[in-house]
């Protein structure tokens, strides 16, 4: 066949649902390295208007839905900001009015019990009641507030993580609405107690605290909003979106009390603010329950429920049903996810999660726990009044908001987005955006935030000036970067179906900090205020030092490897990777290689397995194996007397290997990986144990790579079956490339009526090379064989120039892919001592060019199928995208 064979006559084929085949688009949901056109096309590229980028597959389950039913960063995350800001304003705005209301109600009840009320000086709720400024009333009020905090904090510490885990299985939206229902019931009881104090005793407020705690309180609302944000945001931008959520939190804490104070002064009634808060809860509940779309697709919900069911069954089977019940009722059970075990986990992952939890608990827990002590200290040391104290607290919160909504997005843009865009432009491919753990930018932002907290605490300890004290507070405000970063990074460590569960565990730590922290820090302050009032800041600074040191335990690019759902490996639907990618074989009928180097299947008659079961494990069609079984058994080599190989064997031709995956009934496999890179659309042939792909930057036309499906780094790691399959596929690729790039001088035999004879590998030459190890020039840690068709003069007179180029940048198959896959890892360079070609000499090919080349090879494979089998190829091999007869 002449060089540059055309396939214009081939029929266009629809997208296939089977990823390992001779067909074109291996899976609709696979986000393969592309030239970035989808990203440039914006919302219209995906057809649903969600504006997501093609490099993240987080919205694959929402394809085809209208934009208002599709969660995305540009719509629902920003839509969520306003209702969440209302939610936080209600939380922050009601704190002071409720404290004053409780004080007045306790005082009224105290004097009623003592029958000492002066008719000339009645107690008016929300007004200045000087008779309440006695130690007994203050003591009763403080004790009652402590009870309310313990009830709400304790119940929310138990309920919030359960709601987070539940949201993974049943969705975020309705549980977000539920989180506000408790606050709504709490405010209703508060209004009744304030409106009818003679009928409704103030102790009924404990019931309101119970309702609030049973729905998770503010803690559950916060973690569910963060889980929703995680669902709607690619990992590379998740920290910024989390920063927006935290900015809303600090906005509520900054402006809530201020707005509430002005509203009470304007309305002249303390009770009026509770009606406003009631309206805020109602608005948030209705908006979350009926307006925003669900961020967890039905498919993910069902998968999470099934996984949870199997996990419970496995635990009950392993430890016994009664012990499993005790463990599940343990209130601290949600924290187990911070120390995960089992497939996909590692010691580094566990250390990362624990270190991040420590950092987050210190940052947010310290902020909530020490807040009141900082206010008391400032009033004690500098004689600040309400105005000065409010100004200081509001200024700190405002600086946090500016940092999170202004500075943080800029840092992310110049630290992640812009470098990624530059690499994408230079290489012409788009990396897949997925959860890969923390990167170097995350760790440095976290350490800088913690260091600023330490400096601020040091300023609190040593300064005696109001201006320096104010400046120290502004320094601690930079710690807001740390809280958003830790929670975003935590979600990048776990699979998407565990985000709610792990954020629930973090929420539990927050709730416990709200209960235990104030008691601890207030106790320290009360014990040291007369001798060394700065002791509270020493204790707070020590917490941040612990968190700062813990941040150095965080390793980058460590994450929880997702397991393939068991249903995807159901009997009769085994994927072609089989157990080879997991490095084990689970069946007695294993693939072996005999002394004739033919890939064969051992059939044990004693197992009495049907031929279809055997072929499922080989990914061969049952019909083809059944029809040929008698002849294959009759022609199989007989075992020598006394030899251990007593079972008949089935030889499998080279093309049968190549077409086996195409005719399998195995389920969809999402992607093919070449080392750390997703290369699915570059793959044009897959065998049971190997695959072939076109090269992004070929040295000469036709330069392809053949790799094992299992990600082995070195050639010696391959099993005998994998080695045989790899090099059998290499031979097949030589036959394919010969038909495309070589011309047989004897083609046609001189008879005009006969078609030209396809060229054989002997009509030209090949360079077949394996760079085994980095010092040999290997730049992708995945075994790959270079198959390069050679013709006379293709590299000038120096035919050995190919080896120079393979050792240089033109042979650096991992360089360009690595450029776009990670912003922080060191770019691989060719090893060895041969000269290298400058990067400018390389030409980056577009996805269309690689697609055209792969299509040419598929057409040749279909032609070879017809010649070797003597029949028309099955519809699926021919490219119609159907599985008729399989």
Q: Among all residues, which ones are annotated catalytic? A: 784
What is the DSSP annotation of 206-267?
Answer: HHHHHHHHHTTHHHHHHHHHHHHHHHHS-GGGHHHHHHHHHHHHHHHHHHHHHHHHHHHHHH
Q: Which of 109, 246, 227 is nearest to 173 (CA)?
A: 227
- Cα–Cα nearest to 832, from 808, 848, 796: 808
What is the C-alpha to C-alpha distance for residues 284 and 91, in angstroms, rounded to an integer? 12
Residue 796 pairs in a beta bridge with 794
**Residue 847 structure tokens:** 């996805």
Residue 785 forms beta bridges with which residues? Answer: 706, 770
CB burial of residue 135 (10 Å; 0-12, 13-18, 19+): exposed
For residues 251 and 89, is the Cβ–Cβ distance under 8 A? yes
Tokens 């072996």 belong to 592
Q: Which of 467, 468, 466, 448 is nearest to 458 (CA)?
A: 468
- Tell me: is residue 778 an annotated ligand-binding position: yes
Question: Is 777 annotated as belonging to a binding site?
Answer: yes
CB 146 within 8 A of CB 130: no
Strand partners, 651: 600
Grouping H, G, I as helix, E, B as strand and the rest as coil, residue 179 is: helix
**Neighbouring-strand partners of residue 797:** 795
CB-count burial class (<10 Å; 0-12, 13-18, 19+) for 459? buried
CA distance 467 to 473: 10
Query: Residues 274, 187: contact at Cβ < 8 Å?
Result: yes
Calculated CA dihedral for residues 234, 239, 244, 245, nearest 10 degrees: 90
Instruction: List the structure tokens of 281.
Output: 């809860």
704-708 vs 690-694, strand pairing mode: antiparallel
256 in a known ligand binding site: no
Which residues lie across from 790 on neighbouring strands? Answer: 765
Residue 308 to residues 61, 173, 303: CA-CA distances in angstroms? 20, 20, 9
Burial (CB < 10 A; 0-12, 13-18, 19+), residue 762, is exposed
What is the residue whose two structure tokens read 């770019």? 827
d(C-alpha 741, C-alpha 749), whole Å? 19
Does residue 695 have a known ligand-binding role? yes
Q: List CB contacts of 206: < 8 A, sequence separation 6 or more.
A: 147, 148, 151
What tokens does 189 get? 């009881």
Which of 529, 253, 261, 270 shows the shortest CA–CA distance to 392? 253
What is d(CA 511, CA 500) in angstroms, rounded to the nearest whole number? Answer: 16
Both tokens of 546, joined, read 């612990």
Q: Give the DSSP letter string of 5-26.
A: ---TTSPP-PPPS-SSSSSSS-
Q: Is 780 annotated as a binding residue?
A: yes
- CA trace torsion 19, 25, 31, 35 (10° rounding): 150
Q: Which parts are annotated binding residues for substrate?
A: 695, 771, 777-780, 786
Binding residues: 695, 771, 777-780, 786
């Amino acid at each position: 066949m002449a060089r540059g064979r055309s396939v214009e006559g081939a029929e266009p084929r629809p997208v296939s649902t089977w990823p390992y085949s001779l067909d074109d688009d291996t899976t609709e949901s696979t986000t393969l390295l592309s030239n970035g056109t989808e990203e440039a096309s914006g919302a219209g590229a995906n057809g649903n208007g969600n504006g997501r980028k093609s490099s993240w597959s987080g919205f694959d389950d929402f394809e085809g839905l209208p934009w208002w039913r599709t969660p995305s960063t540009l719509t629902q995350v920003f839509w969520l900001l306003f209702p969440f800001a209302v939610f936080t304003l209600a939380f922050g705005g009601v704190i002071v009015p409720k404290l004053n209301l409780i004080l007045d109600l306790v005082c009224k009840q105290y004097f009623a019990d003592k029958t000492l009320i002066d008719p000339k000086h009645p107690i008016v709720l929300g007004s200045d009641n000087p008779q309440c400024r006695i130690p007994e009333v203050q003591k009763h009020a403080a004790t009652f507030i402590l009870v309310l905090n313990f009830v709400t904090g304790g119940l929310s510490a138990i309920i919030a993580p359960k709601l987070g885990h539940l949201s993974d299985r049943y969705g975020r939206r309705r549980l977000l609405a539920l989180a506000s229902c408790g606050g709504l019931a709490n405010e209703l009881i508060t209004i009744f107690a304030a409106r009818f104090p003679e009928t409704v005793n103030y102790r009924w407020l404990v019931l309101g605290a119970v309702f609030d705690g049973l729905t998770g309180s503010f803690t559950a609302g916060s973690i569910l909003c963060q889980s929703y944000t995680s669902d709607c945001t690619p990992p590379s931008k998740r920290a910024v979106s989390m920063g927006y959520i935290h900015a809303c939190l600090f906005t509520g804490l900054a402006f809530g009390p201020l707005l509430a104070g002005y509203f009470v002064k304007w309305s002249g009634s303390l009770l009026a603010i509770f009606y406003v808060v009631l309206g805020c809860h109602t608005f948030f509940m209705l908006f979350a329950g009926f307006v925003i779309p669900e961020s967890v697709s039905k498919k993910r919900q069902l998968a999470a429920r099934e996984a949870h069911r199997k996990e419970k069954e496995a635990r009950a089977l392993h430890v016994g049903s009664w012990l499993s019940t005790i463990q599940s009722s343990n209130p601290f059970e949600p924290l187990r996810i911070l120390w995960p075990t089992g497939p996909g986990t590692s010691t580094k992952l566990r250390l990362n999660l624990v270190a991040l939890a420590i950092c987050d608990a210190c940052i947010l827990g310290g902020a909530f726990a020490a807040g009141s002590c900082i206010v008391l200290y400032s009033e004690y040391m500098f004689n600040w009044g309400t105005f000065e104290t409010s100004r200081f607290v509001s200024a700190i919160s405002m600086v946090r908001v500016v940092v999170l909504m202004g500075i943080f997005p800029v840092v992310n843009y110049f630290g992640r987005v812009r470098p990624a865009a530059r690499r994408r432009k230079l290489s012409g491919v788009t990396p897949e955006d997925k959860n890969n753990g923390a990167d170097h930018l995350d760790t440095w932002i976290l350490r800088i935030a913690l260091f600023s907290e330490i400096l601020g605490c040091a300023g609190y300890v040593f300064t005696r000036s109001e201006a320096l004290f104010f400046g120290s507070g502004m320094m601690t405000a930079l710690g807001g970067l740390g809280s958003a970063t830790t929670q975003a990074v935590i979600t990048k460590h776990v699979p998407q179906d565990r985000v709610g569960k792990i954020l629930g565990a973090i929420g539990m730590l927050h709730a416990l900090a709200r209960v235990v922290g104030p008691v601890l820090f207030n106790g320290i302050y009360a014990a040291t205020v007369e001798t060394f009032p700065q002791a509270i800041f020493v204790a707070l600074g020590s917490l941040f030092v612990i968190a700062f040191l813990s941040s150095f335990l965080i390793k980058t690019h460590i994450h929880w490897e997702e397991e393939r759902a068991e249903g995807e490996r159901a009997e009769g639907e085994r994927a072609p990777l089989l157990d080879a990618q997991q490095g084990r074989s689970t069946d007695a009928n294993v693939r072996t290689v005999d002394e004739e180097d033919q890939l064969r299947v051992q059939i044990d008659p004693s197992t009495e397995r049907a031929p279809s079961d055997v072929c499922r494990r080989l990914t061969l069609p049952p019909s083809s194996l059944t029809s040929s079984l008698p002849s294959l058994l009759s022609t199989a080599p007989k075992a020598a007397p006394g030899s251990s190989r007593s079972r008949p064997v089935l030889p499998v031709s080279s093309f049968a290997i190549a077409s086996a995956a195409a005719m399998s009934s195995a389920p969809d496999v999402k992607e093919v990986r070449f080392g750390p890179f997703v290369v699915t659309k570059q793959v044009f042939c897959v065998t049971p144990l190997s695959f072939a792909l076109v090269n992004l930057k070929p040295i000469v036309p036709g330069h392809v790579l053949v790799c094992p499906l299992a990600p082995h780094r070195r050639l010696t790691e391959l099993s005998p079956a994998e080695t045989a399959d790899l090099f059998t596929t290499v031979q097949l690729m030589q036959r394919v490339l010969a038909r495309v790039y070589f011309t047989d001088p004897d083609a046609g035999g001189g008879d005009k009526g006969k078609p030209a004879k396809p060229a054989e590998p002997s009509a030209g030459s090949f360079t077949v090379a394996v760079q085994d190890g980095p010092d040999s020039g290997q730049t992708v840690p995945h075994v790959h064989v270079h198959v390069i068709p050679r013709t006379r003069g293709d590299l000038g007179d120096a035919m050995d120039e190919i080896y120079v180029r393979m050792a240089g940048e033109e042979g650096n198959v991992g360089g360009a892919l690595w450029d776009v896959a990670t912003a922080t890892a060191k770019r691989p360079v060719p090893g060895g001592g041969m000269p290298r070609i400058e990067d400018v000499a390389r030409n980056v090919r577009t996805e269309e060019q690689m697609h055209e080349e792969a299509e040419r090879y598929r057409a040749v494979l279909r032609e070879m199928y017809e010649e070797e089998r003597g029949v028309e190829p099955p519809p699926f091999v021919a490219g119609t995208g159907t599985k008729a007869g399989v």
